[in-house]
Amino acid sequence: MRILRDDRVFALLLLAPAILCVLGLVGWPIAQIIGFSFVEGAKLNALGGGARPLGFGNFISVLTDPETWDSVVTTAIYVAGATLPAFALGLGAALLLNRSFPLRRALRCLALLPWAAPGVLVSIIFLWLFDPSYGVVNYLLRSFGYHGEDIAWYSNENTALAAAILPTIWKGFPFFALTILGALQTIPADLYEAADIDGANRTQAFFNVTWPGVRGPALLALVLNGLWALREFDIIFATTGGGPSRASETLGIRAYLEAFSYYDLGRAAAIGVLTLAIALALLAVARRPLQKEFF
């Protein structure tokens, strides 16, 4: 009995720094955000000064603002647009990297490189690729017979969001490739042999052997990547800054701008709480696969 108690104390002691870290550096900030969202008229420069009335003013102001709902739609497009193609690309890459061919290890390293490149650097590379006058993308378009005006990908309202999604896909697909590759390597080879003996073709083998083998990790990676896209900041901020005319302004960008450009902490916090609510709703939807994979 005593040993059991000691064990528990020891276990909690080991966990304590992490709990402290999460509570102090994540939990407390979140509590503060929720607190600020109820403080009427909270400005960044008026912090800590005197008591202010509490109320739903920030939420009313944010939720009745059509711009907020524009941002919600932009966020949804961004998340779906960045996650699903990255998933498809990552699955393809994983299937490919699971086969043997010369230089496979080198290719694995290279395939990971976009994932390791800082978001800001990725943004800068894409800004250059998509530069209106000197960008190689417009040059390639011209050489394939496009004769219209130069497309200013990042400062054109119609293309800015898509142009911010592209680097996100490029940066995001190695994560899928990596997790799915890990799962592929756990599928026993005799399952494929059995499928072969049963006369399954390659498509059938994929749906009956490969997909069941990678489904859990793949779904988990989808959920994680979706949540990461929901919180993405670096790439959008460094490429378009949310513009032009708010064409790429997701909730994360909007919260940041409200706080650090308009100094409206209350509204920023209310937008933060809204983002949090969306993330939790997504998590609730994805609870089952998550639980199955983690516990």
Q: Restricting to residues 109-138, name those near other proteins by CB under 8 A.
A: 109-122, 124-129, 131, 133-134, 136
Q: Please report the beta strands in 118-171, taking only residues with DSSP state E, as ranges in sequence order.
A: none
Shortest distance in whole angstroms from residue 150 CB to other proteins: 9
Does 270 bind other proteins (CB under 8 A)? Our answer is no
Contacts of 39 (CB under 8 A, 6+ apart): 52, 53, 54, 58, 265, 266, 269
Mapped onto helix, strand or coil, the DSSP state of residue 30 is helix
11 binds other proteins (CB under 8 A): yes
How buried is 83 (Cβ within 10 angstroms: 0-12 exposed, 13-18 middle, 19+ buried)? Answer: buried
12 binds other proteins (CB under 8 A): yes
231 lines the binding site for other proteins (CB under 8 A): yes
Say whether residue 52 binds other proteins (CB under 8 A).
Answer: no
Residue 69 beta carbon to other proteins: minimum distance, rounded to whole angstroms: 18
How many residues does the structure list for the chain? 295
Contact flags string 142-161 toward other proteins, x per CB under 8 A = x-------------------
- Rounded to a whole number of angstroms, the minimum distance from the CB of residue 26 to other proteins is 4
The yes or no reply on residue 195 touching other proteins (CB under 8 A) is: no
The CA distance from 264 to 271, in Å, is 11
Q: Is 139 in the site for other proteins (CB under 8 A)?
A: yes
233 lies in the site for other proteins, by CB under 8 A:
yes
Number of residues that bind other proteins (CB under 8 A): 97
Handedness of CA 256, 114, 228, 24 (dihedral sign): negative
- 286 Cβ contact list (under 8 Å, min separation 6): 219, 223
Q: Which of 89, 152, 187, 191 lies at the binding interface for other proteins (CB under 8 A)?
A: 89
* Residue 210 binds to other proteins (criterion: CB under 8 A): no
When asked if residue 211 is in the footprint of other proteins (CB under 8 A), the reply is no
Q: Are 160 and 250 in contact (CB under 8 A)?
A: no
- CA-closest candidate to residue 235, choices 255, 253, 262: 253
Of positions 51, 66, 101, 147, contacts other proteins by CB under 8 A: 101
Q: Pick the piece of the chain touching other proteins (CB under 8 A) from 3-11, 51-59, 78-86, 191-199.
A: 3-11
Q: What span, in angstroms and rounded, lies between the C-alpha atoms of 179 and 182? A: 5
The CA dihedral of 257, 249, 79, 178, to the nearest 10 degrees, is -60
- List the one residue from 178, 209, 222, 270 that touches other proteins (CB under 8 A): 178
Q: Which stretch binds other proteins (CB under 8 A): 50-58, 64-72, 76-84, 255-263?
A: 255-263
Residue 238 interacting with other proteins (CB under 8 A): yes
Residue 279 structure tokens: 């993330």
With beta carbons less than 8 A apart as the criterion, state whether 171 and 114 touch: yes
